[in-house]
Structure 1
Amino acid sequence: MKSGPRTKATDASPEETSAPRRSRVSGMDRALQVLDHLYTSGEPAGSYAIAKAVGAPLSTAYVIIDELVERDLLSRRPDGLVWLGPRLYHYGLAYARTLDFLGEASHVMHELGREIGETVQICGRDGDHMVVLAMADGPGHFRVMSEVGTRVPLNWTASGRLLIGHLPDAERIAVFKRSAKASPTERAMTDAAALSELAEEAFKKRLSIQISETDFLVSCVASPICDASGACVATISIVLPEHKVVANPELYGKAVCDASEAIERKLGWRKR
């Protein structure tokens, strides 16, 4: 009697023939495991204890911990134990300020939107770009293309110029030299020296206006939000049709400047 066809080992599926693979943990993941362990335990620990807690080879833990100490993300005590470092403290303070800032700024943003009847944005700097941090749509049919998270080159917008207006001239020029790009409407200035001069002037006036530089028939009126040191940390801006700004720049300029000052007062950055 003939037996049935034999199945060769090579016919088996990969799941049946391949040995279980060990997942490789990246250096970033290991660093986060170390930080998370210390945060969760709430007390300093030695390298051996940390390696055992996170399931990492001792040699790997030593390397990761040394690198974190070198970067001030961890601090090593005289007894050899390590704890969370000063750099994390500064990150935490910056994050907390951001939460406070956006909360207060959003209230003013919505108030301004209701008062002026137009779209209002809070914008910040992300390297060589301006980024929309918060936005309140106006009640009318006019809508802007940018949404929260939108990033555009600093030279395209009124807010972008303000965000580096407090910097020294040489630093402003360096930023614009590497980042200035032609806008879709081809109306945005790209000359670094001229942009630096405009940024300084707008920052001193606490008012920047751009007309149709990014989108046709769309304008922006912005004012800086400055911290206690005088640095521009964000802007509040009104985005509206070009003809409205041309017809009444004083109205929108005063409204946005009053709003930026209100935010600064709420955060204790401006004397009443």
Structure 2
Amino acid sequence: MDDRPSSQAFPDDAVAAEDFEPKSARRSRVSGINRALQVIDYLYETGSPAGAYAIAKAVKAPLSTVYVIIDDLVEKNMLARNPDGSIWLGARLYHYGLAYARSLDFMSVATQEMHDLCRTSGETVQVCGRDRDHMLVLAMAEGLSHFQVASRVGTRVPLNWTASGRLLVGHLPEGERIELFKRCARTSPTGRAEINARTLSDAAGKAFSERLSIQVAESDYSVACIASPICDRDGQCIATISIVLPEQKVLSDESHYTDHVRASAQRIEELMGWRTTDLLNR
């Protein structure tokens, strides 16, 4: 049974808005693609399923238009409709992502090193990148201990919450870092993450120059993270590799983990040809 509201239930302004949609076939096609991307982007940005009304309101599109787009994308497996009627990203997008990831030499190299570091350290290891104002977990290898890490592949958190987040912007000019943190710094669940833009900028620059960033219980209680930047040939931090572990382990044997994570980041750079160190002399 179709549980969508009838056209009489649509707000008058939503129907009126449709009257002004582009008329030409070419412009309609472009508009349809843009609308579809807006729907997908909204779900990606929020990180959770949503109803058609919430999506339409967020992307400022007529509700009836959003229903048509959702139905089409669900049919093509680009979106999935949950039993409660909410909409989420579909399996087809996941398959596209896998194909894209396979084409990236960097992710192949970084993922291999991630698993090596996981075996060496015995702890959970993550490769993270930047998604605008957020840090994004790109890959993850879980350690052997029973220690549970809340963040998973696809998790996005504000840059100021994490060791990796600071490194990912550490190569930027100071003024740009300050403006970025003014815009994106947020209070963390523990209340311990720094939110002062200038302090964050200084910390990011220092961590980047030292190729090491450590955070303890800033985003999650009793959780620590030790990260090192992975820099391209232009010296820009394109990703990080990090060890996520209980905070007491960092306090008791910090250098053991910092040496390992720095070495892993350097190996990735060498294998990608971004660092000139002779591989045979490692």
Same fold (TM over 0.5): yes
TM bucket (normalised to shorter chain) is: 0.5 to 0.7
Pick the aligned partner of 2:235 from 230, 255, 262. Answer: 230
Alpha carbons 2:229, 2:265 under 8 Å: kept: yes
Could you report, residue by residue, the CA deviation over 1:156-212 in whole angstroms, capped at 9, with x for unpaired residues?
000000000000000000110000000000000000000000000000000000000
**Cα distance change of structure 1 residues 190 and 27 upon mapping to structure 2, 3 Å threshold:** same
**Cα distance change of structure 1 residues 219 and 154 upon mapping to structure 2, 3 Å threshold:** same
Pick the aligned partner of 1:131 from 103, 117, 136. Answer: 136
- SS of structure 1 residue aligned to 2:203: helix
Task: State the TM-score, normalized to the length of structure 2.
Answer: 0.64
What pairs up with 1:30-69 in 2 under 5 angstroms? none
How far residue 143 of structure 1 moved from its aligned partner, in angstroms, is 1.5
**Cα distance change of structure 1 residues 165 and 29 upon mapping to structure 2, 3 Å threshold:** same
**Cα distance change of structure 1 residues 96 and 28 upon mapping to structure 2, 3 Å threshold:** farther
Distance in 2 of aligned mates of 1:96 and 1:121: 16
Pick the aligned partner of 1:170 from 175, 183, 186. Answer: 175
Counterpart of 1:168, as a letter, is P
Distance in 2 of aligned mates of 1:135 and 1:234: 13
Distance in 2 of aligned mates of 1:195 and 1:30: 39
Task: State the TM-score, normalized to the length of structure 1.
Answer: 0.66
Structure 1 segments (4+ residues) deviating >4 Å: 28-31, 95-98
What pairs up with 1:1-40 in 2 under 5 angstroms? 25-28=28-31
1:82 paired residue number:
none
Question: Identity percentage over the alignment?
Answer: 57
2:97 paired residue number:
none
- SS of structure 1 residue aligned to 2:117: helix
1:244 paired residue number:
249
Pick the aligned partner of 1:115 from 115, 120, 126. Answer: 120
Distance in 2 of aligned mates of 1:96 and 1:261: 21
Could you report, residue by residue, the CA deviation over 1:29-77 in whole angstroms, capped at 9, with x for unpaired residues?
579xxxxxxxxxxxxxxxxxxxxxxxxxxxxxxxxxxxxxxxxxxxxxx
Tell me, yes or no, if structure 1 residue 106 matches structure 2 residue 96. no
Tell me, yes or no, if structure 1 residue 270 matches structure 2 residue 275. yes
Counterpart of 1:26, as a letter, is R
- SS of structure 2 residue aligned to 1:181: coil
**Cα distance change of structure 1 residues 178 and 140 upon mapping to structure 2, 3 Å threshold:** same
Distance in 1 of aligned mates of 2:142 and 2:186: 27
Of 97-106 and 164-173, more deviation after overlay is shown by 97-106
1:152 paired residue number:
157
Q: Which runs of 5+ in 1 are unaligned?
A: 1-23, 32-94
Alpha carbons 2:228, 2:262 under 8 Å: kept: yes
**Cα distance change of structure 1 residues 179 and 98 upon mapping to structure 2, 3 Å threshold:** farther
How far residue 98 of structure 1 moved from its aligned partner, in angstroms, is 7.2
Alignment: residue pair count: 188
How far residue 108 of structure 1 moved from its aligned partner, in angstroms, is 0.3
Q: Which runs of 5+ in 2 are unaligned?
A: 1-24, 35-99, 278-282
**Cα distance change of structure 1 residues 220 and 98 upon mapping to structure 2, 3 Å threshold:** farther
2:215 paired residue number:
210
Higher Cα radius of gyration:
1
Alignment RMSD: 2.1
How far residue 241 of structure 1 moved from its aligned partner, in angstroms, is 0.1
1:184 paired residue number:
189
Distance in 2 of aligned mates of 1:116 and 1:30: 46
**Cα distance change of structure 1 residues 98 and 222 upon mapping to structure 2, 3 Å threshold:** farther
